[in-house]
Amino acid sequence: MAVTDAGRLNVSRDRWYNNPLVRSIFFQVLLVAAVLGSVAWLAHNTTTNLRDRGIASGFGFLNQRAGFDMVTFLNVTAESTYGYMLLAGLVDTIVVSILAIVIATILGLIVGVARLSSNWLIRTIATVYVEVLRNIPPLLVILFFYLAVLATLPDVKNAIQIGPDFSLSNRGLFMPAPVFGATFHFVVIAFVVSLIIAWAVRRWAYARRMATGQGFPSGWAGLAIVVAITGVIYLLSGDPLTFDVPVKTRFNIIGGWDLSPEFTALFVALGVYTASFIAEIVRSGIVAVSHGQTEAARALGLRSSHVLRLVVMPQALRVIIPPLTSEYLNITKNSSLAVAIGFADLVAVGNNVLNPTGQSIEVVAIWMAFYLGLSIIISVAMNWFNARIALTER
Amino acid sequence: MTDMQSQGDLSYVRQEILKAAPPPMRVHGVWPWMRTNLFGSFGDTILSIVGALIALWVIVPLLQWTLINATWSGDREACAANTAGACWAFVKANFGQFIYGRYPDPERWRVNLFLVLMAAGIIPLAIPSAPFKGWNLVYIYVVFPVVAGILLVGGVFGLQLVETQVWGGLFLTLVVSYVGMAMSLPLGILLALGRRSKMPAVHYVCLFFIELCRGVPLITVLFMAGVLLPLFLPTGVNFDKLLRALLGLSLFAAAYMAEVIRGGLQAIPKGQFEGAKSLGLGYWQMMRLIVLPQAITIVIPGIVNTFIGLFKDTSLVYIISIFELLYTVRNSFSDPTWASSTTPASGLVFAAAVFWIFCFGMSRYSKFTEDRLRVGYKR
């Protein structure tokens, strides 16, 4: 019985179409052919359609005059080229994302720690914050800040003053703008040089501690070096940094930096929304460090600041950092919601370029290249960082 | 020896009975609770005061705006005159539009029936102990879509034809999320299996697709579906805008779903695969009978989280002019019969409340399944 069974198995294996290798090659060839075939078919359709509509493909349009104006950080006019417009949109995306990331990180850290507080009231407030914001669409948060909060602010005449030089009105947030004098670059150079010196001191202190066991307050020494060198050069080069303070005239505010309502609504909304996710990440990271670690560190005689810095934080960060970066990427991607409130980010500018030129494929390609490039850069950096902090086991 | 011990010096034995210790401080009741949770130490007390101030600073104006000073009835004049409170009269007047969009009035029973049929499919599926899960899936994937399509579009069985252009509001949001959820799960499973495949071509095709979708914002995918898809298809071939949006959203969600499922697949011990193979199961049998049931059960919370993300993302399909809930609400702000300074805030708060109820419900469900799954590991 057994012998005949074994024989039958052998027979069925002998059929060439049951050979796993043959099957694997067959399916892969089929898949590749299907993918290439559909790509070729789509490309053929696209070229036919473009020819019919008289649209020239290629990136030549980037050098043409745009003919429309937008409010961006870079100075664009109707005479700017499409390419420069898109660059301005890209800069806006980056600026908005960085500001939102700063807000989200600070707020998320506070709320995340507050969720673990032993104080019932603080814990409840943090929980309500997280549960409310996590469960509504980011677009709605942005629209709420733009249409319901900022639009109801007073006009310029009755602007809310925050301190002497900041004012908030329905025209946005006005603040003093730094003006860099001619000799300011000396200060920048001095700052960089002092940073390098401080780093060298830190390296030396570390090497000495490893060799002799003697400590050295390298952090304070480094701070002193940076402050002293930069300060001295700043004074020597003749106080090159001044501020352009916004001045209120009868109908308007002139000078200083004006953060437009769209921009303010976007980065505040993104920051506040994403903070709810970061809070959960921070909380789970801290919870993930077992209590035994804290107790063991205490038993070794570490001070409580050292327990946090040397034992808890490194382990919590190992859990926190990977999802945190993906939240940062989400902020960058969500900043494309700017299109809904008319802030000129990469997607909104692209949308404006796409309509008059019809170069939809090129514009979408530029979007994809930027966002994909960013994702890849961040995930490569992340992998490097992860490998550095990964648990070293035997 | 024993005698000496028993009769010996017993001075170390206490002679008189100790006084009763004072009773322990109460651990139940309001004051002990407040002492442990609010006023445990000096710092704690300060935190409590700060927290109370924050809560008052938010809650009092919120209550005033939403309830005490709100305009509950009347028309635009009443709302424009009262800038201190919400304009619920506006929401009440437009409620039908927010739910049904521009779906013709006499046909709204079809939408209501659709919602009931949808609930009838989803609720038993979500209850773990409800029987007939297999038939439930058949209903979700075959019966319900066909019936719902006929019911909503019409044009047959004497039902009046209703173009998808006039669909809108909450009901369209639900249609879009239902299709997105129903499509993204099987697509995500296939992509996840493909990404873990040992065949290099399959692996790289799936990897490329997943990373492409996850790397770009949904808006650009919807732009592709709305603007580029007509360019990609042969001249003259064109299909419904709603279908294009659904396609884009489903593929986008499938990429995220694939990563969640992959997490579940990775958590299955190698022995399960080897055991299945040694029993003589083929690849698909092994996946269908042994691996996927375990892998999907582990990641149900992750799947529900992806569904929550998808539900929130439906608010973006307005980009290719699909009038889902949020856009319907926004659109009504420009209605001259209701334009006032408080209408945008009122409408947005209403939309936020609707989105919140659905998403919060789903997140509670995700928590419930998570706790249910953990039972096996608790012991």
In order, the DSSP letters of A301-323 are: T--HHHIIIIIIHHHHHHHHHHH
Question: pLDDT tens-digit profile of B167-220?
Answer: 888 989 999 999 999 999 999 999 999 988 888 888 898 988 988 888 888 988
Report if residue B35 sits inside a domain.
Answer: no
The DSSP letter of residue B105 is G
Mean pLDDT of B302-323: 88
Instruction: Name the residue among B51, B198, B199 with its Cβ closest to that of A122.
Output: B51
Report if residue B24 sits inside a domain.
Answer: no
Number of domains in chain A: 2
Question: pLDDT tens-digit profile of A2-37?
Answer: 444 544 555 555 677 777 788 888 888 998 999 999
Report if residue A238 sits inside a domain.
Answer: no
Predicted pLDDT at A138? 92
User: Following CA atoms B70, B76, B78, B79 in sequence, which dihedral angle do they give, to the nearest 10 degrees?
Assistant: 30
> Are residues A302 and A311 in contact, defined by beta-carbon separation less than 8 angstroms?
yes
Report if residue B21 sits inside a domain.
Answer: no
Report if residue B2 sits inside a domain.
Answer: no
Concatenated DSSP letters of B63-85: HIIIIIS-B-SS-HHHHHH--SS
Residues 6+ apart with CB under 8 A from A264: A145, A150, A172, A173
Residues B84 and B123 in one domain: no
Residues A374 and A267 in one domain: yes
Q: For the beta carbon of residue B327, count every other beta carbon within 10 angstroms.
A: 24
Predicted pLDDT at B379? 45
* Contact (CB<8Å) B199/A121: no
* Contact (CB<8Å) A137/B319: no
Q: Single out the residue of A193, A330, A235, A231 nearest to residue A275, CA to CA.
A: A330
Predicted pLDDT at B177? 92
The domain containing residue B374 runs over which residues?
A: 48-102+336-379
Residues B69 and B125 in one domain: no
> Are residues B117 and B175 in contact, defined by beta-carbon separation less than 8 angstroms?
no
Within chain A, how many helices (H) and strands (E) appear? Answer: 13, 8
Check if B79 contacts A (Cβ < 8 Å): no
The DSSP letter of residue A179 is E
Predicted pLDDT at A276? 93
Instruction: Name the residue among B48, B201, B211 with its Cβ closest to that of A121.
Output: B48
Question: pLDDT tens-digit profile of A129-174?
Answer: 999 999 999 999 999 888 888 777 777 777 777 777 777 777 777 7
Predicted pLDDT at B255? 92
Residues A155 and A256 in one domain: yes
Predicted pLDDT at A199? 92
Is B42's pLDDT higher than 60? yes
* Contact (CB<8Å) B215/A376: yes
Residues A382 and A252 in one domain: yes
Question: pLDDT tens-digit profile of A279-303?
Answer: 999 988 888 888 888 899 989 988 8
Which residues on chain A are in Cβ contact (under 8 Å) with B230? 49
Angle CA B346–B349–B352, to nearest 5: 150
Concatenated DSSP letters of B277-334: HHTT--HHHIIIIIIHHHHHHHTHHHHHHHHHHHHHHGGGGGGGT--BHHHHHHHHHT
Report if residue B363 sits inside a domain.
Answer: yes
Residue B295 CA to residue B268 CA, distance in Å, equals: 6
Residues B227 and B370 in one domain: no
Predicted pLDDT at A2? 46
Tokens of A303: 């001070």
Which residues on chain A are in Cβ contact (under 8 Å) with B84? none
Residues B64 and B87 in one domain: yes
Which residues on chain B are in Cβ contact (under 8 Å) with A375? 211, 214-215
From A257's Cα to the closest Cα of chain B, the distance in A is 28
Task: State phi, psi for B339 to the nearest 5 degrees.
Answer: -60, 120
Residues A254 and A329 in one domain: yes
Which residues on chain A are in Cβ contact (under 8 Å) with B231? 45-46, 49-50, 360-361
- C-alpha to C-alpha distances, B200 to A37, A144, B274, nearest whole angstrom: 19, 47, 21
Is A354's pLDDT higher than 50? yes
Residues B260 and B329 in one domain: yes
Report if residue A73 sits inside a domain.
Answer: no
Check if B54 contacts A (Cβ < 8 Å): yes
Report if residue B55 sits inside a domain.
Answer: yes
Mean pLDDT of B342-355: 88
Residues 6+ apart with CB under 8 A from B33: none
Report if residue A103 sits inside a domain.
Answer: yes
**Which of A36, A53, A70 is the last residue in one of the domains?**
A53
* Contact (CB<8Å) B359/A49: no
> Are residues B243 and B153 in contact, defined by beta-carbon separation less than 8 angstroms?
no
- C-alpha to C-alpha distances, A194 to A183, A188, A204, A221, A233, nearest whole angstrom: 18, 10, 15, 11, 11
* Contact (CB<8Å) A364/B351: no
Mean pLDDT of A244-262: 73
Task: State phi, psi for B179 to the nearest 5 degrees.
Answer: -65, -45
Beta-bridge mates of residue A81:
A65
From A64's Cα to the closest Cα of chain B, the distance in A is 22
Residues A34 and A98 in one domain: no
| Choice between A284 and B69, residue whose per-residue pLDDT is larger | A284
Predicted pLDDT at B214? 87
Highest mean pLDDT among B130-134, B224-228, B324-328: B324-328
List, in sequence order, the alpha helices (H) in A54-119.
82-115
Report if residue A304 sits inside a domain.
Answer: yes
* Contact (CB<8Å) A31/B308: no
How far from the centroid of its chain's Cα atoms is residue B91's Cα? 24
The CATH number of whichever domain residue A133 belongs to comes to: 1.10.3720.10
Is B121's pLDDT higher than 60? yes
Query: Around A118, how many Cα atoms within 13 Å sit in the side-chain half-sphere?
Result: 11
Residues A40 and A86 in one domain: no
Beta-bridge mates of residue A179:
A242
Query: Around B304, how many Cα atoms within 13 Å sit in the side-chain half-sphere?
Result: 21
Q: For the beta carbon of residue A262, count every other beta carbon within 10 angstroms.
A: 22
Residues B330 and B350 in one domain: no
Report if residue B15 sits inside a domain.
Answer: no
> Are residues A194 and A226 in contact, defined by beta-carbon separation less than 8 angstroms?
yes
Residue B53 CA to residue B108 CA, distance in Å, equals: 47
> Are residues A94 and B21 in contact, defined by beta-carbon separation less than 8 angstroms?
no
Which contiguous run of DSSP H or E holds residue A327?
A: helix A313-334
From B74's Cα to the closest Cα of chain A, the distance in A is 21
From B299's Cα to the closest Cα of chain A, the distance in A is 17
Residues B248 and B299 in one domain: yes
Beta-bridge mates of residue B71:
B87
Which residues on chain A are in Cβ contact (under 8 Å) with B38? 119-121
Which one of A48, A127, A128, A143 would you mutate to disrupt binding with B, by most B Cβ within 10 Å of its Cβ?
A: A143
Is A348's pLDDT higher than 90? no
Mean pLDDT of A351-368: 82
Check if A120 contacts B (Cβ < 8 Å): yes
The CATH number of whichever domain residue B179 belongs to comes to: 1.10.3720.10
Task: Tell which A residues from 309 to 348 touch B, by Cβ distance under 8 Å.
Answer: 333-334, 336-337, 339, 347
Residues A48 and A124 in one domain: no
Helix axes B300-313, B343-378, angle to 10 degrees: 170
Predicted pLDDT at B1? 47
Average pLDDT of chain A to the nearest whole number = 82
Predicted pLDDT at A257? 74
Average pLDDT of chain B to the nearest whole number = 84
> Are residues B266 and B298 in contact, defined by beta-carbon separation less than 8 angstroms?
no
Report if residue A10 sits inside a domain.
Answer: yes
Task: State phi, psi for B199 to the nearest 5 degrees.
Answer: -80, 120
Which one of A86, A135, A375 would you mutate to disrupt binding with B, by most B Cβ within 10 Å of its Cβ?
A: A135
Residues A170 and A290 in one domain: yes
pLDDT band at B330 (very low <50, low <70, confident <90, very high): confident
Residues B252 and B366 in one domain: no
Predicted pLDDT at A375? 85
Question: pLDDT tens-digit profile of A106-131?
Answer: 999 999 888 888 888 888 999 999 99
> Are residues B327 and B318 in contact, defined by beta-carbon separation less than 8 angstroms?
yes
Residues A313 and A374 in one domain: yes
The domain containing residue A33 runs over which residues?
A: 2-53
Residues B352 and B227 in one domain: no
Tokens of A267: 């980065």
Report if residue B18 sits inside a domain.
Answer: no
Mean pLDDT of B281-291: 88
Residues A37 and A162 in one domain: no
Report if residue A336 sits inside a domain.
Answer: yes
Residues A283 and A334 in one domain: yes
Which contiguous run of DSSP H or E holds residue A241?
A: strand A241-244
* Contact (CB<8Å) A336/B217: yes
From A233's Cα to the closest Cα of chain B, the distance in A is 43
* Contact (CB<8Å) A121/B40: no
Predicted pLDDT at A1? 43
Residues B73 and B149 in one domain: no
Residues A141 and A260 in one domain: yes
Which one of B53, B207, B251, B348 would you mutate to disrupt binding with A, by most A Cβ within 10 Å of its Cβ?
A: B348
Residues B170 and B58 in one domain: no
Instruction: Name the residue among A131, A364, A375 with its Cβ closest to that of B220.
Output: A364
From A338's Cα to the closest Cα of chain B, the distance in A is 11
Check if B233 contacts A (Cβ < 8 Å): yes
Check if B53 contacts A (Cβ < 8 Å): no
Residue B68 CA to residue B240 CA, distance in Å, equals: 46
Task: Tell which B residues from 207 to 226 touch A, by Cβ distance under 8 Å.
Answer: 211-212, 214-220, 223-224
Q: Specify the pTM.
A: 0.82
Report if residue A317 sits inside a domain.
Answer: yes
Question: pLDDT tens-digit profile of A40-89?
Answer: 988 888 888 877 777 777 777 777 776 777 777 777 777 777 888 888 88
Residues B256 and B155 in one domain: yes
Instruction: Name the residue among A49, A336, A375 with its Cβ closest to that of B219.
Output: A336
Number of domains in chain B: 2
